[in-house]
Copies of this chain bind each other. A is one copy, B any other.
Amino acid sequence: MCRETDNMEKQTIEYSEKQNAIIQSAEKLFSQTGFDGTSVRDIAQEAGVNVAMISYYFGSKDKLMEAVFEQKTTQMRLKIENLLLNNNITHLEKVNILIDEYVDKFVDQQEFHKIMMREQILERSTPVAALILELKKRNLQSIKKLIQEGQKSGEFKKHIDIMLMMSTLVGTVSQVVVSKRFYCEVNHLQNLTEPEYLKYIRKKLSVHLKNLFKITLTNDI
């Protein structure tokens, strides 16, 4: 465990305060207006730094994008891996924790996930696309292991298409997060404040997905 933590901190590149401000601004603007729709001037202004600093620190706009992803994906991967590692609970409980983790991740870090979605849509073979693919592969491995252990213990059914279940998990959360305005209008939630809405949606998604997974994975009704 300690070793893990050490590695984690070693892998994470240390950025200066300004560099972090740039990364954060980039993350925000890329999610709001897309990569091509965001100019380095916008990012610089948002971060309160000179335009030239972006090239100075990150080399290019593309490299900045990579830095944003490098940082985030590393964090995510490690979180999922640690999550599944050391719990003394049933496999279904682990699945439920995983679901809550994904829900929280998408809800809390909407901005980054929007960038990630858009990058996947574009299907271009960039370093960023490679990072996403790698992240998804490793996460799938972790979850596959969890499901297989549950199957061995008899807790889960055989013949589960883990990938489709993951698509349902990730897809449902993405869809709800992205359709915020639609969701609010239809369900008459326009009066909710942002935190209230987030709390509400988090709970809804959690219950919905846990139920979906339970009836899919186990034999219980």
Residues of A within 8 A of B (CB): 31-37, 114, 117-118, 120-124, 133, 136-137, 140, 161, 163-164, 167-168, 170-176, 178-183, 185-187, 204-205, 208, 211-212, 215-216, 221
Contacts of A179 in B (CB 8 A): 120, 136, 167
Contacts of A208 in B (CB 8 A): 161, 164, 168
Query: Taking the nearest CB of chain B, how far is it from the CB of A42, in angstroms?
Result: 12
How many chain copies? Answer: 4
Cβ-neighbour of A163 out of B35, B180, B181, B186 (below 8 A): B186
A53 to B36, CA, bound (A): 23
Contacts of A33 in B (CB 8 A): 36, 122, 124
Query: Taking the nearest CB of chain B, how far is it from the CB of A43, in angstroms?
Result: 15
Q: Are B171 and A183 in contact (CB under 8 A)?
A: no
Query: Taking the nearest CB of chain B, how far is it from the CB of A69, in angstroms?
Result: 15
Q: Are A186 and B34 in contact (CB under 8 A)?
A: no
Q: Are A181 and B121 in contact (CB under 8 A)?
A: no
